Amino acid sequence: MDAIEITGGRPLSGEVQVSGSKNATLPQIAAALLAPGRSTFRGVPDLADIRTLGKLLGHMGARVERDGATVYVDADRVANPEAPYEMVKTMRASVLVLGPLVARFGRARVSLPGGCAIGARPIDQHLKGLQLLGAKIDLAHGYVEAQAARLRGATILFDLPTVTGTENLMMAAALAEGRTVLENCAREPEVAALADALNAMGARIQGAGSSVVTIDGVNSLRPMDIQVIPDRIEAGTLLAAAMITGGDVVVRGARPEDLDGALAKMREAGARISAERGGLRIVAPERPDAVDFITAPFPGFPTDLQAQLMACLTVARGASRVVETVFENRFMHVQELVRMGADIAVDGHTAVVRGVARLSGAPVMATDLRASASLVLAGLRAEGKTKVHRVYHLDRGYESLEKKLAALGANVRRVKGALA
């Protein structure tokens, strides 16, 4: 397994381009299942999770090809609408094939994703919605079996805003008979991007990005040809890298409207952030100011940036309170940061981070995608060498992060085949 080796202490400077969004691409590629013919996706990041979904669609009989940053998905022939356990367990977003498969083929057999490192992450809202659309849902042997001759529009009120739940049901309702109204929807930019893609296929969706989405079902859809939106979480991670090193960086492609909650807190922590050169420029103080934050559904502070901002706050002036409300176990980076000299106390969903003057490099272990990013960030600040092991977690959601950081002046390299 590879590792990432960092020698910290250099303020980052320069300009970096954000890649396409992982969490926008995954539902959009799943949506290709809704139409016969070949869909085209431009600006697709080369990530492990994207490859996993491509393999899953290939397993079903779709043809998936990549030419540079363009991915083609031909869903003409999908012989078996099934997502097997061994594929779903490596990437829970595979559950996004459920809605499209039932809508187009009238049946689907998808492995229940099971828990993951950051929490139980049930899909009860996905299943409740499909039942309300008329699907017959059976749970057996760890699989969801869904069947429906033709889905029928319905009003669905989510118990809580769920990103992939909203996405799955938007896709299912696109081919249902009549009108579906989804209420208490997730408002993340990736949901709006999926609606744009579905409308490009001929769907009739309004309101995506707000908490009420209306879908008027159509009888058939055509392939799409779309450009993937920039990855706001990668953008936020790169901004945090500038913050933790007291740097001056332009993140090209970052869209301010996608990061309201995160930018507000970074500014409160003393960073100057302005729209410049088709992206965002951040000029950070040598040490950030302490700031309290709580994660919440969009437009609140994104849970996917919690570990990264926490890393910055380990060297802040003062103490910060961090509350994680979205997932039940998303503080696994804390103990590794403590091994690097951070002073963090966790009590349930709350972590109190007391800023220290310096961190010291250490061998650390990545446990999940965003935790591994926060350890890399801490290594950029720490004195001496940090070695982040199990960076396959990082490769799920970041395209060559170490190369991007090196181009900004960081002393960082990937070590092939390091010990586990």
Is 312 catalytic? The answer is no
Ramachandran quadrant class, 148 (left: phi over 0; alpha: psi -120 to 50; beta: rest): beta
Q: 264 vs 356, which CB is nearer to ligand EPZ?
A: 264
Q: 22 vs 414, which CB is nearer to ligand EPZ?
A: 22
Q: How far apart are CA 295 and CA 119, in angstroms?
A: 15
Q: Which residues, in sequence order, are CB contacts of 199 under 8 Å at separation 6+?
A: 205
Reference 242, options 189, 311, 344; nearest CA is 311
Q: 43 vs 397, which CB is nearer to ligand EPZ?
A: 397
Task: Classify strands 385-389 and 3-7 as parallel, antiparallel or unpaired.
Answer: antiparallel
**Token pair 């950051």 in the structure block, residue:** 118
Number of residues that bind ligand EPZ (CB under 6 A): 26
DSSP 8-state class, residue 20: B
* Catalytic residue (choose from 1, 116, 117, 157): 116
Q: 78 vs 123, which CB is nearer to ligand EPZ?
A: 123
With binding defined as CB under 6 A, does residue 163 bind ligand EPZ? yes
Q: How many CB atoms lie within 10 A of CB 107?
A: 17
Q: How far apart are CA 219 and CA 204, in angstroms?
A: 11
Reference 61, options 83, 45, 44, 31; nearest CA is 83
Least Å distance between CB 50 and ligand EPZ? 11
Q: 191 vs 359, which CB is nearer to ligand EPZ?
A: 191
Q: Candidates 124, 138, 260, 276: give the one binding ligand EPZ (CB under 6 A).
A: 124
Q: How far apart are CA 22 and CA 30, in angstroms?
A: 13
Q: Candidates 10, 104, 109, 126: give the one binding ligand EPZ (CB under 6 A).
A: 126
Stretch of 19-27, 236-244, 265-273, 354-362 contacting ligand EPZ, by CB under 6 A: 19-27
Least Å distance between CB 317 and ligand EPZ? 29
DSSP 8-state class, residue 76: S
Stretch of 66-74, 160-168, 263-271, 310-318 contacting ligand EPZ, by CB under 6 A: 160-168
Q: Which of residues 283-312 bind ligand EPZ (CB under 6 A)?
A: 303-304
Q: Which of residues 75-104 bind ligand EPZ (CB under 6 A)?
A: 93
Q: 102 vs 186, which CB is nearer to ligand EPZ?
A: 186
Q: Candidates 14, 58, 114, 119: give the one binding ligand EPZ (CB under 6 A).
A: 119
With binding defined as CB under 6 A, does residue 370 bind ligand EPZ? yes
With binding defined as CB under 6 A, does residue 130 bind ligand EPZ? no
DSSP 8-state class, residue 230: B
Q: How far apart are CA 145 and CA 212, in angstroms?
A: 28
CA distances from 99 to 6, 30, 178, 226, 267 (A): 42, 9, 16, 20, 40
Residues that bind ligand EPZ (CB under 6 A): 22-23, 26, 93, 119-126, 160, 162-165, 186, 190, 303-304, 326-327, 369-370, 397
Active site residues: 116
